[in-house]
Amino acid sequence: NAGVTQTPKFQVLKTGQSMTLQCAQDMNHEYMSWYRQDPGMGLRLIHYSVGAGITDQGEVPNGYNVSRSTTEDFPLRLLSAAPSQTSVYFCASSFSGGSTDTQYFGPGTRLTVL
């Protein structure tokens, strides 16, 4: 099992550009989520999904879109990048999303917006 994989590892964008951060898991988990982590801060939930075709907003959803067409993949789209979106982005998955489930995190994508 590869677990949770994320691509790219690093990305530099200019203000206004769009891009998609990729996340995939091979554990057949129903629940997937995206977090951002700013320097010296904790993780903040952006969007989450409880299964294919179902997504919902987290704490900080503005400026980001998600979709979940398959169980395995949960891409995060930045529509028009802004310097405030400079952060490290982590994708995570768990079996069903319940509070007793262990979340498995990917290695992160470090994004810089100039």
Per CB under 8 A, residues contacting another protein are 4, 31, 33, 35, 41-45, 48, 50, 56, 58-59, 90, 92, 97-108
Q: How far is the CB of 90 from another protein (least distance, A)?
A: 5
Q: Which is nearer to another protein, 85 or 94 (CB)?
A: 94
Q: How far is the CB of 50 from another protein (least distance, A)?
A: 6
Asked if residue 9 lies in contact with residue 21, where contact means CB atoms within 8 angstroms, the answer is no
**Cα dist. 47→1, 73, 91, 105 in Å?**
25, 14, 10, 15
Q: Which is nearer to another protein, 34 or 85 (CB)?
A: 34
Q: How far is the CB of 92 from another protein (least distance, A)?
A: 7
With CA atoms as reference, report the closest residue to 43 among 101, 103, 90.
Answer: 90
Pairing of strands 109-113, 10-13: parallel
